[in-house]
Amino acid sequence: MFDAAIPPASARERIAARGGRVTRTRLVVLELLQCSEHPLSHDEIGDALAAAGVAHDRVTLYRTLDWLVEQGLARRIAGGERAWRFEAVRDAAHRHAHFHCDRCGQVVCLEGLEPAPATGLPSGFHVDRAELVLHGSCAACGLGSEAGRVR
């Protein structure tokens, strides 16, 4: 479940390398993202911070995440609901699709499924990045019976 290839210690180095101050919030949030196998919402991160005994408020968390995204340490993805989700960036060049369970709202990463390259774009348009999100039901919610449903 944890990504053993990236020891938690590197979080401190990665933060310092960007010229940012190594604060407990940044440290814990980045370690959390690095250890999570799926993108986390603000709520989930906030709960984890509370569980870890790190004092924080909503605004600080927003700013911490903004900073991580700005520094290229985390990525922001649209979770389907109107809340963002965040994941650690392991390899800036590597991108992958996401699966959003319409039942439980959970988002999982789909390694090995890269968004298709852009083709057929009107002239003048410049593509920065592509986001591919599959919607349906995850294994835990499994509802094959409602397959035909259109949304």
Partner DNA sequence: GCACCAAATGCTACAATGTTGCAAGACGAC
Partner DNA sequence: GTCGTCTTGCAACATTGTAGCATTTGGTGC
Contacts of 33 (CB under 8 A, 6+ apart): 40, 45, 68, 74, 86, 87, 88
Residues β-bridged to residue 78: 84
Closest CB 22 distance from a second copy, rounded Å: 22
Q: Does residue 22 bind a second copy (CB under 8 A)? A: no
CB of 113 to a second copy, least distance (A): 5
Residue 80 touches which of DNA, a second copy, none (Cβ within 5-8 Å per kind)? a second copy
Return the SS3 of 93: coil
CA distance 25 to 98: 26
Q: Which of residues 90-109 bind a second copy (CB under 8 A)?
A: 92, 99, 102, 108
| Number of chain positions touching DNA (CB under 7 A) | 26
**Footprint on residues 111-130 left by a second copy (CB under 8 A):** 111-113, 115-116, 118-130
Work out the burial of residue 138: count CB atoms within 10 Å of its CB; fewer than 13 is exposed, 13-18 middle, 19 or more buried: middle
56 touches, from DNA, a second copy, none (C-beta below 5 to 8 Å by class) = DNA
**DSSP letters of 59-84?**
HHHHHHHHHHHHTTSEEEEE-SSSSE
Q: What does the per-residue mask of binding to a second copy show for 57-96, with x meaning CB under 8 A?
A: ------------x--x--xx-x-x-xxx-------x----
Is beta strand 74-78 parallel, antiparallel or unpaired with respect to 40-41?
A: unpaired
- Residues lying near a second copy in the complex (CB under 8 A) are found at 69, 72, 75-76, 78, 80, 82-84, 92, 99, 102, 108, 110-113, 115-116, 118-140, 142-144, 147, 149-151
